[in-house]
């Protein structure tokens, strides 16, 4: 039920996924209102054995207060989804619904992995050579301490390794100068901590211009600057591609629908938040990402990486 | 002598300015090494009455330590320029040389206007409708308190009014949410202070996507995020325009040479810092901006605005 074009686009995304991914070992649980979904469910008729429809009598609106809505609407698709995840009846949960409710649900039901100070969200940024860099945090941690950025670096590195399949991903600190010692107080204090880490491949500082270049696969920053950066990138795409119709493969990769959604890293189960304006293609890609997230064993790897040494 | 292509491009910029600006009331003082400049000075022959050449026996390199270099090279073009400004023999000073030396010279010789906590630098950001918004701070103030952002708002507003000729410029706070109360601790604390001000037209928060839109002419942020933002914008231009050759008027306005340089706001005389890679067109535009800076009376307006009430 999540997103501005639900349930039509969500169900069409499921259809795309089924059409293009013949591996029937992936079984989808579609949570929503049966009456609203009915006009589109016929599209899934050829794949009826590959999904189960779960009725959700309530819907959390895009502008409702997250904590309040989750508490008062236990039969909303978001509340039911987190319930299934908690009980182990689902392996991953994704929605393009109320972002705040997705975050609150993730934090308070699925909860952080032991040892993680703050879960984080990450976004791929297109690279001029056709690849992507992975920027995090992009908005849920706007006031960070060095130890938070250190964990974002570790989480991003593990995601790049496990889900994106990059061996020894290069990790960089987003800064306003290249040399060690440059930047604000936070960056100056974070740099030496990153340099000391043995579990990541830290390559030093990068600047705003390097976000689109082949300098580091994982770029770490505070959520405030990361959020400004992704919204600038979205705006560039909207203006040059959507409004002006400029065709270019680099520009095309700014289209968030290509990667589908934003994973929450550092919680006990895979959760992916979609953009409210997601269409079928984005939903299809979110489902694929969720599948990779599960099969990669990332969550287990994070748990092991952050396990405190036995007393 | 400043910049990667000095003195050739600097002198060609002066030539462009003289050709296109027949108002001979602007007299230029060109500070540099006569031998290095000689091959190009012949270009200025038709305008010999409109400039004075001042010999500078030393040059501060692009990678020299600013404070040390300024102290040890009193005959460098940058040291001489600030000397002329201080003595009132020049009304404005501009250079595409060592940025650090320009900043140090500005802070320690020209000095801050009384009442200004921290001078700031600003950059125009292209708007999809063909105009520009004015973003500040873009890199010299990476750790700010709310009172600094408040002054940037006032300085940016005065610049927009006096130099850009915008009546009642709209001033916004760059944030990661639109409503009051959103954002990091700094943004949350700054918003109510901006709202209280009677000397600016505060229109609330804007997000990263709004930097390119018609939402506010002046956008205020901490120097860290502002610097990441301008370097992302420079990179977008470099990739799409310079490398890929995409022609589009909005994209074309990302070319920093169009506005030439970055004014330092809040010091006792007009100073403009150019990009190290400036060509003739950028120098021409820097000179024009310096002229507007002087004739607008901005410095006097800032002094009056920040004057402490008499005891």
- What pLDDT was estimated at residue B24? 80
Q: Which two tokens stand for residue A25?
A: 């070992």
Nearest-Å Rg of the Cα atoms of chain A is: 19
Contacts of A250 in chain B (CB under 8 A): 239-240, 244
**Angle at alpha carbon of residue B211, lines to B205 and B212, rounded to 5°:** 140
Q: Which pLDDT value is given to residue B311?
A: 63
Record the pTM.
Answer: 0.94
Confidence bin at A280 (pLDDT 50/70/90): very high
- Residue pointed to by tokens 């701070």: B137
- Mean of pLDDT over chain A: 95
Chain A interface includes B295 (CB < 8 A): no
pLDDT at B309 over 80: no
Task: Give me the DSSP letters along A82-103.
Answer: HHHHHTTS-S-EEESS-HHHHH
Output the pLDDT for position B260.
Answer: 86
Mean pLDDT (whole number) for B47-51: 95
Q: Count of CB atoms within 10 A of residue B214's CB?
A: 13
Nearest to B153 by CA among B192, B109, B210: B192
* Backbone CA torsion sign across A237, A243, A246, A247: positive
pLDDT for A155-164, tens place per residue? 999 999 999 9
Confidence of residue B189 (pLDDT cuts 50, 70, 90): very high
Residue A242 CA to residue A119 CA, distance in Å, equals 33
Contact call for A209 and B246, based on CB within 8 A: no
Q: Percent of chain B at pLDDT above 90?
A: 92
How do residues B207-242 score in pLDDT, each as one tens digit?
Answer: 999 999 999 999 999 999 999 999 999 999 999 999
**pLDDT tens for each residue of A225-272:** 999 999 999 999 999 999 999 999 999 999 988 888 999 999 999 999
Q: Which of B187, B186, B162 is nearest to B177 (CA)?
A: B187
Q: What does the pLDDT read at residue B305?
A: 95
| Summary mean pLDDT of chain B | 95
pLDDT digits (tens, 9 = 90+) for A12-68: 999 999 999 988 789 999 999 999 999 999 999 999 999 999 999 999 998 899 999
Which chain B residues are Cβ-neighbours of A251 within 8 angstroms? 240
Tell me which DSSP letter residue A219 carries.
E
| Chain-chain contact of A227 with B251 (C-beta, under 8 angstroms) | no
| pLDDT tens profile A145-154 | 999 999 999 9
Contact B148, A184 (CB under 8 A): no
Confidence check: pLDDT of A311 > 70: no
DSSP code for A111: -
* pLDDT one-digit tens code per residue, B191-211: 999 999 999 999 999 999 999
* Residue A9 token pair: 């686009």
Do the Cβ atoms of B128 and A251 come within 8 Å?
no
| pLDDT tier at A95, thresholds 50, 70, 90 | very high
What contacts A22, CB < 8 A, 6 or more positions away? none
Run of H or E including B271: strand B271-274
pLDDT tens digit sequence for B4-25? 998 999 999 999 999 999 888 8
- Collapsing DSSP states into helix, strand and coil, what is residue A217? coil
* Per-residue tokens: B223: 């120097």
CA B119 to chain CA centroid, Å, is 11
Tokens matching residue A93: 């949960």
């Amino acid at each position: 039920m999540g997103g501005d074009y639900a349930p039509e686009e969500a169900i069409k995304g499921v259809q795309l996924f089924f059409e293009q991914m013949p591996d029937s070992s992936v079984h989808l649980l579609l949570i929503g209102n049966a009456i609203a979904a009915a006009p589109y469910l016929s599209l899934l008729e050829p794949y009826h054995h590959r999904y189960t429809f779960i009725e959700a009598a309530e819907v959390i609106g895009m502008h409702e207060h997250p904590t309040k809505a989750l508490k008062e609407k236990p039969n909303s698709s978001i509340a039911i989804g987190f319930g299934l995840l908690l009980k182990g009846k689902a392996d991953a949960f994704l929605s393009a619904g109320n972002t705040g409710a997705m975050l609150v649900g993730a934090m308070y039901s699925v909860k952080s992995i032991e040892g993680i100070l703050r879960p984080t969200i990450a976004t791929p940024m297109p690279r001029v050579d056709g690849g992507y860099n992975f920027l995090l945090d992009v908005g849920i941690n706007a006031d960070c301490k060095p130890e938070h950025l250190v964990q974002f670096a570790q989480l991003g590195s593990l995601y790049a390794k496990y889900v994106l399949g990059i061996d020894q991903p290069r990790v960089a600190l987003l800064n306003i100068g290249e040399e060690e010692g440059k930047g604000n107080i936070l960056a100056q204090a974070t740099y030496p901590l990153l340099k000391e880490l043995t579990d990541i491949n830290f390559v030093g500082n990068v600047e705003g211009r390097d976000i689109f270049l082949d300098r580091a696969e994982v770029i770490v920053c505070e959520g405030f600057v990361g959020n400004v950066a992704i919204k600038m990138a979205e705006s560039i795409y909207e203006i040059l591609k959507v409004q002006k119709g400029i065709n270019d493969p680099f520009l095309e990769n700014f289209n968030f629908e290509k990667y589908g959604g934003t994973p929450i890293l550092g919680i006990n189960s895979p959760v992916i938040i979609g953009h409210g304006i997601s269409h079928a293609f984005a939903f299809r890609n979110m489902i694929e990402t969720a599948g990779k997230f599960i099969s990669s064993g990332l969550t287990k790897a994070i748990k092991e990486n952050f396990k405190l040494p036995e007393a």
